Structure 1
Amino acid sequence: MRPIARTLSAAVIGFAVGAGAVSGGLIAYDHLNPSNAIISKSKVQTPYATVASYTPPTLPLGPDTISNVVKRDGPAVVKIVATVPQSVSISSSPFFNPFFGSIFGNNIPMTPQTEVQTDIGSGFFINSRGYLLTNDHVIHGATKIQVYVPGYSKPFNATRVGTDYATDLAVLKISAPKPLPYLVLGNSNQTPVGAWAIAIGNPYDLSHTVTVGVISAKGRPLTIGNRHYRNLLQTSAAINPGNSGGPLLNLAGQVVGINTAVSTQGQGIGFAIPTSTVEEILPQLMKYGHVIRPWLGVFIGTDSKSLAQQYGLPTSTGVVIAYVEPNSPAQNAGLYAGEVITAVNGQSVTSASQLKSIIDKTHVGQHITITVNDQGRIVTRNVTIGQEPNGPITEPSTVPSF
């Protein structure tokens, strides 16, 4: 794992938390602002969202620039309240005292029960028909999702349109009596490091909180639990539990990132999913409800050249399989831990990143050949590529999965 991921993996909050802690964040886009006419004429209309097709001009710089963006975008910011059942164990002993323990010592009879947890997050509308974006972790496992929209006294019940565990994105849908304000997705690839960034969300349930900073870095990898983020924006705009799922805006009021995580070991270190990632998967979320990804089902332990002699490789190439996931294409093909993958379809494999790139270019159902070195014995196995599960995968360690 890269140093940044290793340092922050245990110290990052990127999930929705219940009553005492919250996650999520979101922002809005108001079409009543006169400057919006320029953006509306220049955007590309799609069935699922509004995406800027040009490099947007910034608003006139001045003391009111940020407040004007907030005023224009604020009506599209929503609060998301998710009801999530949690399994807990409650003592069934009448002699148990939660402060002093039990007269039976540690042998306390426990009864499993279900406890309801309320998680608070954020999101923002991506079109006028009630479709909105948020983080998957904000609504993951929820049995009921409510959306609080500015201007309405009662919340709307939301339905899931699509979710993607891997990128931590989700699309929800509400039915409102009239068209809703929405945000334009800007171009994160063209957003330079050092550019101003504005976050709007509900940190700790403090609705429509605005924080400002800059884009501190791009392309940050990060691991939080079983989620492996490979390409995040880093920002100095304050992000707290409750901001997750909300947009990170540029000075044109366009979304360049989806606020997702914050480091608990330092100030001014927040992370957002870039809109370049959103635009890649949003069509599939809208069409299929999930993202279709090719899947092999192996965890790679190392691709160190020092293993060449240990594994009897003819050259110092190949990647070592650390773990094979149960019921995966790899297991069905007979691959197992300890083997060294040296080639896929005759193409030499020299690194874990190269293996990932090769697998990513395949499609579900495709037949491939994988050449392995099994303790000096060269074997070729036929593998049928599967579809990656849309959920957490229990990993033996923090090694990359393909």
Structure 2
Amino acid sequence: MANVKSSGVLRFLVVLVLGVFIGALIGVNMPDQLADWKGNGNQSRQLAAQESGETTKYVVMGPSGIADMVEKVSPAVVNIETTVRVDNGYVDPFFDDPFFREFFGDRFGISPRSTYETGIGSGCIISSDGYVLTNQHVVNNAVKIMVTVAGFDQPIPATIVGQDYELDLAVLKLQKKATYTALKMGDSDRIRVGDWVIAIGNPYGLDHTVTAGVISAKGRPVTIGDRQYRNLIQTDAAINPGNSGGPLLSASGELVGINTAVNASAQGIGFAIPINTAKQVLDQLISKGKVERAYMGIGVSEITADTANSLGLSTTKGVLVAQVYSGTPAEKAGLHTGDVITAIDGKTVNNYDGLKTILDTKKAGQTITVKVIRNGSTKELPLTLAAKP
């Protein structure tokens, strides 16, 4: 029994010694083999990149990157202070006396009375000669506009060159001759959801406040009061009252949006007008003071399932011509009440918003091709647009 145990121990010791010896051999050769594997892997990746013509790019978005960019663009971000006249009716206490009113009623006593209120907002210098882009609601009904520009000791008076209520955009002109720092306009169509953005503005009067976030969504429709925005950029970069009109910037410092609104009932939901929307109308705002919109001269309605059934349509896509106004381009082109517009210049019209989006890209005097369904047949009608009255 003792011999069996001794032989077992002996075999265990032999196996242990052999294991240590083999492990040492592997350990000696492994570093070279590992180095060769790493080197071959890197070499293979580098060769693959070279063959495909690709260039490896590393995007670093850190505190220093934001700080450097903000320092560069800040002189082009301005604070806007407006004075707005508010007209109120004023009732003289004498005429409001019950005895007087018993004899003369309410024909007297109300006289016009004006008060003045101040407002604040932000803006972006877009040219070295002092044109400033901002929101129309920032300067709406303003009788006095003063703009604070970095590097100038005193606020600079500004006038409204052009404005558009529907797009909520306005262009101001600084009334001091100087060479100003201007923002470079980017391409808002190229930004992607998830891209970093930076907002700079004047929230609650705290000038040049910087916040950062990402693009949360694009093409958002938002209704605020009686304004209907149809194509806004949504971001979680903090936007507060006073930020309106300020820039939404890409990580490289290009202007990609105009900060416009915030959802006050939620956190991290702000909106900006895409800069490409502004670029389409800037020339008109500066040269004509307004945006001239293309006009067909029709009243339209959406197509419901019941409407589609009554017209024999297989889909609810398109818009129904509910009215053709007299003397308009639509009447001259031969559009009829009951026509269903399905396309303009080959672009599909799914609903009213789609029709309006297409028309916003057209100009007065331009001839378009309107595709309609009439009594089950498809027709294409040339129509020359007019300026919207």
Q: TM-score, normalised by structure 1?
A: 0.66
Partners of 2:130 and 2:178 within 8 A in 1 = no
| 1:54-82 deviation digits (Å, cap 9, x = unpaired) | xxx99854332222222222222211122
Distance 1:271 1:335 in 2: 38
Alignment partner, residue 306 of structure 2: 306
Contact 1:234 1:269 in 2 (8 A): yes
* In 2: Cα distance, 1:180 partner to 1:346 partner: 42
Change (3 A) 1:67 1:350: closer
Using the alignment, how far apart are the partners of 2:367 and 2:239 within structure 1? 44
Paired position in structure 1 for 2:126: 126
Report the Cα offset of residue 244 of structure 1: 0.7
Change (3 A) 1:191 1:315: closer
Cα distance in 2 for residues equivalent to 1:253 and 1:349: 36
The match for 2:247 is: 247
| Contact 1:342–1:349 under 8 Å retained in 2 | no
Greater relative contact order (Cα 8 A, min sep 6): structure 1 or 2? Answer: 1
Change (3 A) 1:350 1:225: same
| Secondary structure of 1:191 counterpart | coil
2:305 is paired with a residue of what secondary structure? coil
Residue 78 of structure 1 corresponds to which residue in structure 2? 78
Secondary structure of the structure 2 residue equivalent to 1:238: coil
1:292 corresponds to 2:289: no
Structure 1 segment 308-387 matched on structure 2, within 5 A: 308-310=308-310, 313-315=311-313, 319-320=319-320, 339-343=337-341, 351-353=351-353, 355-356=355-356, 359-360=359-360, 363-365=363-365, 385-387=385-387
Q: Within 5 Å, give how 1:30-179 maps onto structure 2.
A: 61-93=61-93, 110-179=110-179
Once the 2 structures are TM-superposed, how far is the Cα of residue 252 of structure 1 from its aligned partner?
1.5
Matches within 5 A, 1:194-213: 194-213=194-213
Q: Give the CA deviation at 1:356.
A: 3.6
TM-superposition CA deviations, 1:73-113 (whole Å, max 9, x none): 222221112222223233434598xxxxxxx9xx9865443
Q: Deviations over 1:2-35 (max 9, x none)?
A: xxxxxxxxxxxxxxxxxxxxxxxxxxxxxxxxxx
CA distance in 1, matches of 2:78, 2:327: 40
Alpha carbons 1:58, 1:252 under 8 Å: kept: no
Q: Which amino acid aligns with 1:274?
A: P
Q: Which residue of 2 aligns with 1:396?
A: none
* 1:340 partner amino acid: G
Check 1:321–1:147 CA distance in 2 against 1; reply closer, same or farther (3 A cut). same
Determine if contact 1:214/1:235 at 8 Å carries over to the other structure: yes
Q: Provide the C-alpha distance between the structure 1 equivalents of 2:256 and 2:159, rounded to a whole number of angstroms.
A: 25
CA contact (8 A) 1:89 1:111 kept: yes
Change (3 A) 1:158 1:324: farther
Query: How large is the Cα RMSD of the aligned pairs?
Result: 4.2
Structure with the higher fraction of residues in helix conformation: 2
Cα deviation for residue 324 of structure 1 reads 8.2
Q: Which has the larger radius of gyration?
A: 2
Does the Cα contact within 8 Å between 2:322 and 2:338 map onto a contact in 1?
no
Paired with 2:225 and 2:248, the residues of 1 have a C-alpha distance of: 23
Gaps of 5+ in 2: 1-56
Q: Is the 8 A contact 1:341 1:371 kept in 2?
A: no
Distance between the aligned counterparts of 1:366 and 1:60, measured in 2?
A: 46
Aligned partners of 1:307 and 1:316 also within 8 Å? no
Unaligned runs of 5+ in 1: 1-56, 97-103, 390-402
Structure 1 window deviating more from structure 2 (73-82 vs 87-96): it is 87-96
Paired residue type of 1:113: R
Question: What's the offset of the Cα at 1:363?
Answer: 4.1
1:248–1:366 distance in 2 versus 1, CA, 3 Å? closer
2:220 maps to: 220
Cα 1:371/1:114, change in 2 over 3 Å: farther
- CA–CA distance in structure 1, aligned partners of residues 214 and 361 of structure 2: 34
Label 1:132 to 1:362 Cα distance change in 2 as closer, same or farther (>3 A): closer
Equivalents in 2 of 1:371, 1:353: separation in Å?
17
CA contact under 8 A between 2:136 and 2:168: conserved in structure 1?
A: yes
- 2-structure distance, mates of 1:289, 1:366: 21
Q: How does 1:12-31 map to 2 (within 5 A)?
A: none
User: CA shift at 1:236, angstroms?
Assistant: 0.4
| Cα separation, 2, equivalents of 1:142 and 1:112 | 19
